[in-house]
Amino acid sequence: MNTTRSGSLTASGAATTGGLTHAQDHGHDQGHQTVPSDLTLRVKALESLLVEKGLVDRAALDALIDTYEHKVGPRNGARVIARAWVDPAYKQRLLTNATAAIAELGYSGMQGEHMVVVENTPKLHNLVVCTLCSCYPWPVLGLPPVWYKSSPYRSRAVIDPRGVLCEFGLELPKDVEVRVWDSTAELRYLVLPERPTGSEEALEALVTRDAMIGVAKIAPPGEGSRA
């Protein structure tokens, strides 16, 4: 297994480890909680003070965070993916120079300055993680989910990628290679899933955040999908 942060971390099989205890925001929460960091506690204290003084509305703040985490960000990435699926020339630009191709659709800036897109195929499945912290492509995916930042996901995605994928409900055939990409502050990855059938608009609606991270596949039209 190649474990350099400059490239992919390839796993041909699953190692035996304990169950993944990260807190997932879409039905995989196993009750494990970690003690908040000093920074988290300071942020919560500041938020409480601002709310108490009437300077911030807590409901509005929650709605704003939800928008960036589940709507605005992932929908940007979905537009990028759908465009690549229907436009071969754009797909080639995306795989060759992802940062520039993504900027063509108006998505760029902080946390997305240097992007790489990796493509899933019938024999290759890509999974993205950040083993040192939680580097994440905000312009196309919004805010990172809680489980992406958790220590169990960051460690086990490298040690036991197939086991992690199974806990997300994704069991891949043994002949499919799982390749793990380790994001850094300088380089962030986005997965181009395999294409289902449909028009660009219909395809865009099928793309999920989890599929662009690599912990899920795209559900065929009519079967529904998760975040």
Higher per-residue confidence, 157 vs 28? 157
pLDDT at 14: 38
C-alpha pair distances (Å), 136 with each of 35, 45, 213: 22, 26, 9
Write out the H or E segment, with its range, that includes residue 178.
Answer: strand 177-182
pLDDT of 133: 87
Measured over the CA atoms of residue 88, residue 93, residue 96 and residue 101, the dihedral's sign is: negative
Contact 215, 168 (CB under 8 A): yes
DSSP annotation of 121 reads B
Bridge partners of residue 192, in order along the sequence: 119
Q: Is the pLDDT at 195 greater than 90, yes or no?
A: yes
Alpha helices by DSSP H, listed for the chain, are 38-52, 58-66, 73-86, 88-96, 98-104, 138-141, 146-149, 151-159, 161-167, 200-206, 209-213
pTM above 0.85, yes or no: no
pLDDT band at 61 (very low <50, low <70, confident <90, very high): confident
Q: State the catalytic residue, choosing from 48, 133, 151, 199.
A: 133
Would you call 166 a catalytic residue per the annotation?
A: no
What span, in angstroms and rounded, lies between the C-alpha atoms of 148 and 130? Answer: 8
In this structure, which amino acid lies at residue 162?
R
Q: What is the mean pLDDT of the chain?
A: 82
pLDDT above 80 for 209? yes
List Cβ neighbours of 108 (8 Å cut-off, separation of 6 or more).
Answer: 99, 102, 139
Going by pLDDT thresholds of 50, 70 and 90, the confidence category of residue 9 is low
Q: Highest mean pLDDT range out of 2-16, 48-62, 182-196?
A: 182-196
Identify whether 135 is a catalytic site residue: yes
Question: 134, 155, 166, 225: which one is catalytic?
Answer: 134
